[in-house]
Amino acid sequence: MSKPSKWRFVRFCDSSRDLLVCPTGSLYRSTDGGQTWTSSYDCYCRAVWVDPAEPDHSVLGPADGVERNGRIEESRDGGKGWSTASAGMAALWPRSMVERFAQVGDALLAVRSDDQLLAAPLSALSWRRILPDIANVNAATAMAE
């Protein structure tokens, strides 16, 4: 494949210029600086995180469709294989999905489309909901002290 269709919807992963999310259909990877792209995971997705210290380690928020059966999966082989990374929560969310990931120190945050904010230590990816009293969460970031 030379390039994913619908380029206006693509978003490069923050920590890897060789990985991009095309939320209209798939996760794509390039190994030649963007000249060609191959589908790395055929799913609907809006969020991917690549470990800046270990580029073969990725966390993905795939779904079966728009906000349908969202989940969190992990790859440790550069996206060739994916496994469930949903410890601490339901494996599938019937009406929700991950909108974005943000690394904060040794933790990974996941913002869900149902306004929930999840956190997990990077060492184990055991998720828990944080700040449940805050409504309409749609972004997360680290702030300098």
What the chain holds in terms of domains, given with CATH numbers, is 10-130 (2.120.10.30)
Q: pTM value?
A: 0.81
Residue type, 134: I
Q: Give the per-residue pLDDT at 19.
A: 57
Contacts of 138 (CB under 8 A, 6+ apart): 99, 111, 115
The backbone torsions φ and ψ at residue 7, rounded to the nearest 5 degrees and listed phi first, read -55, -25
Half-sphere exposure of 18 (CA within 13 A, CB side): 13
Least Cα distance to 57 among 85, 38, 37 occurs for 85
Q: Give the per-residue pLDDT at 145.
A: 60
Q: Give the per-residue pLDDT at 4.
A: 42
Q: Give the per-residue pLDDT at 10.
A: 47
Q: Give the per-residue pLDDT at 20.
A: 59
Per-residue pLDDT of the chain (145 residues; tens, 9 = 90+): 444 444 444 445 544 555 555 545 577 777 776 777 777 787 888 888 888 888 788 899 999 888 889 999 999 988 888 999 988 888 888 899 998 899 999 999 999 999 899 999 999 899 999 987 888 787 777 766 6
Residue 8: strand, helix, or coil: helix
Q: Are 69 and 94 a contacting pair, CB within 8 Å? A: yes
Q: Give the per-residue pLDDT at 135.
A: 80
Q: Give the per-residue pLDDT at 127.
A: 94
Q: Give the per-residue pLDDT at 121.
A: 95
